[in-house]
């Protein structure tokens, strides 16, 4: 038995070497961790249980029968992150360039099936050159099996892809169907066809970084949700993200002990929003002051920067945040911002994550570029996402909520459960100046009269007086919200299922007799 165990350990040691010491050293020289080092850093110490360590390909063409390495270019298994189960696979660039073979794909499929069966998140770490050409259609068939399971897992378990090297050809489609993609700057690339093929076909000369680097995919294509300086930072941030996410679409959001008093008053919020309605301010700063300990994980921070999406906690519970950003394009909605926010809202809805929406939107961005780019359809995607959402929705209007954008940004009319108005809130078809110029167009030449009419229009609807009581939002009316107490407003998102307020709203005659009559009673709140 001793000899058998020793031989087994020798085989394990050989498998752990991947493509050999020289290739491991070359991996380090590129500034990258190895496949196993990435797993070791990602998972809790000693928690990794590996599957199929000794699997080898069965190709006999092009001399491949003489080139067999245990593991066949991918390490698979499960472990824990802060005590919570996750499944994962990590492609090994030192073995056949991490290329996908029939056996390689079978290992990934097995771990995907197990993640679905166990209802646990799955993480894919990519560092590979695409399909293994020597295996032909067998490799392509393997891709298809992986893709089918990506679709089956969508909206059921969180799927996270981390690109830590090349990700080309067929390899790109699996990450594209997952919930989040993160990249490492300067060492990771994603493209369907590489620079050489691009030059051959189109005569365009482009580098790998220009074609599919982290900067391109985080700021231009929107393929990636974030990028990091190196492998270590990327993996540590993935661990942080997992702490925000539920394990599946049935369990509630994770709850972490918070030492941040939900009832604390932040006096700085009184002055965060300028008195001048045209002066910008940082909505991201507002969110960070509202969430527990200022811990906010932003999604797609470099793309469509006129809208903010990300995860925070209130009273220890995960909440999704969507907010217009007045610092960029005055916070207007355009095609990119609408698509970005819609995708985030739909993810939160799939995984029962409450959503808080901060609104300061002057409208949709006008112009031929937007209209030709499909603004109508893209704007409708966000409207559809909010209208379809069955998770708690709390909306806080901090300043402007004009035109159709008011409706789209989680208004009460599309299903928001609670709507609050900051003292500086303005809700209208358009701004006072534009409205006056239309209503009183005959007086446009008289500057004094226009100024008088503008003030008259602004004073006609004193929003702070309309609240009438702290609980009028139960009946769908806007309630005025003191800025210092904004955390309490955000807290309502996490507690919508705990009290009788929402049930009272559901039974209101306007809902039971109106266009929403007949929809399923109650929303699936289960956050404890």
Taking the C-alpha atoms of residue 449 and residue 442, their distance in angstroms, rounded to an integer, is 10
Q: Could you tell me which of 330, 360, 325 has the C-alpha nearest to residue 340?
A: 325
> Beta strands 189-191 and 159-168: pairing type?
parallel
Residue 214 CB contacts under 8 Å (≥ 6 apart), including other chains: 183, 184, 185, 186, 188, 224, 227
The active-site residue, picked from 130, 170, 212, 226, is 170
Taking the C-alpha atoms of residue 281 and residue 209, their distance in angstroms, rounded to an integer, is 34
Q: Could you tell me which of 492, 463, 462 has the C-alpha nearest to residue 480?
A: 463
Per the rule left: phi > 0, alpha: psi between -120 and 50, beta: everything else, 373 is: alpha
Q: Is 447 a catalytic residue?
A: no
Q: Which residues in 264-372 belong to E strands, given as ranges?
A: 297-299, 307-314, 317-324, 355-361
What one-character-per-residue DSSP string does 350-361 give?
HTT--EEEEEEE
Taking the C-alpha atoms of residue 383 and residue 402, their distance in angstroms, rounded to an integer, is 15
The active-site residue, picked from 405, 479, 490, 493, is 405
The active-site residue, picked from 169, 212, 403, 431, is 169
The size of the chain, in residues, is 528
Q: Is 170 a catalytic residue?
A: yes
Q: Is 15 a catalytic residue?
A: no
Q: Is 214 a catalytic residue?
A: no
The active-site residue, picked from 252, 373, 374, 404, is 404
Sign of the C-alpha dihedral, residues 467, 471, 475, 478? positive
Q: Could you tell me which of 11, 193, 23, 43 has the C-alpha nearest to residue 97?
A: 23
Beta carbons of 111 and 122 less than 8 angstroms apart: yes
Block residue for tokens 């393997």: 142
Beta carbons of 389 and 355 less than 8 angstroms apart: yes
Phi then psi for residue 287, to 5 deg, are -60, -45
Taking the C-alpha atoms of residue 143 and residue 131, their distance in angstroms, rounded to an integer, is 8
CB count in 10 Å sphere of residue 259? 7
Active site residues: 169-170, 404-405
């Amino acid at each position: 038995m001793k000899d058998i165990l020793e031989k087994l350990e020798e085989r394990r040691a050989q498998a752990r070497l991947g493509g050999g010491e020289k290739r491991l050293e070359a991996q380090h020289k590129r500034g990258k961790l190895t496949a196993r080092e990435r797993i070791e850093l990602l998972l809790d110490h000693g928690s990794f249980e590996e599957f199929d360590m000794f699997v080898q390909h069965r190709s006999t063409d092009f001399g491949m029968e003489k080139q067999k390495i245990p593991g066949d270019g991918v390490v698979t298994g499960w472990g824990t992150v802060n005590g919570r189960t996750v499944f994962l696979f990590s492609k090994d660039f030192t073995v056949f360039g991490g290329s996908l073979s029939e056996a390689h794909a079978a290992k990934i499929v097995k771990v995907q099936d197990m993640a679905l069966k166990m209802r646990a998140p799955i993480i894919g770490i990519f560092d590979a050159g695409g399909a293994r050409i020597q295996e032909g259609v067998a490799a392509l068939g393997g891709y298809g099996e992986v893709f089918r399971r990506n679709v089956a897992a969508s909206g059921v378990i969180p799927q996270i892809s981390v690109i830590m090297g090349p990700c080309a050809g067929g390899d790109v489609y699996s990450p594209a169907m997952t919930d989040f993609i993160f990249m490492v700057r300067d060492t990771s690339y994603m493209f369907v066809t590489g620079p050489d093929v691009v030059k051959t076909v189109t005569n365009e000369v482009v580098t790998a970084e220009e074609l599919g680097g982290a900067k391109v995919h985080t700021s231009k294509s929107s393929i990636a949700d974030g990028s990091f300086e190196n492998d270590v930072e990327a993996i540590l941030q993935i661990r942080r993200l997992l702490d925000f996410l539920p394990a599946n679409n049935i369990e509630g959001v994770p709850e972490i002990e918070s030492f941040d008093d939900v009832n604390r008053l932040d006096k700085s919020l009184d002055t965060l929003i300028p008195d001048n309605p045209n002066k910008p301010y940082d909505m991201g700063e507002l969110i960070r002051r509202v969430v527990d300990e200022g811990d906010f994980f932003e999604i797609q921070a470099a793309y469509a920067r006129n809208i903010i999406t990300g995860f925070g906690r209130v009273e220890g519970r995960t909440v999704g945040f969507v907010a217009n950003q007045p610092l960029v394009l005055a916070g207007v909605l355009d095609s990119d911002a609408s698509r970005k926010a819609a995708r985030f809202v739909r993810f939160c809805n799939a995984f029962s994550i409450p959503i808080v929406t901060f609104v300061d939107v002057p409208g949709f961005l006008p112009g031929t570029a937007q209209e030709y780019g499909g603004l109508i359809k893209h704007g409708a995607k966000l409207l559809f996402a909010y209208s379809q959402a069955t998770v708690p929705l709390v909306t806080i209007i901090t300043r402007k909520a004009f035109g159709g954008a008011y409706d789209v940004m989680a208004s009460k009319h599309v299903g928001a459960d609670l709507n609050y108005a900051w003292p500086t809130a303005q809700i209208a078809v358009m701004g006072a100046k534009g409205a006056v110029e239309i209503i009183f167009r005959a007086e446009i030449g008289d500057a004094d009269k226009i100024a008088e009419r503008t003030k008259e229009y602004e004073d006609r609807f004193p929003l702070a007086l309309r609240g009438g009581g702290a609980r009028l939002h139960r009946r769908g009316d806007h309630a005025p919200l003191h800025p210092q107490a904004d955390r309490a407003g955000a807290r309502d998102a996490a507690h919508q299922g705990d009290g009788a307020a929402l049930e009272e709203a559901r039974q209101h005659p306007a809902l039971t007799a109106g266009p929403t009559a007949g929809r399923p009673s109650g929303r699936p709140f289960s956050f404890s």
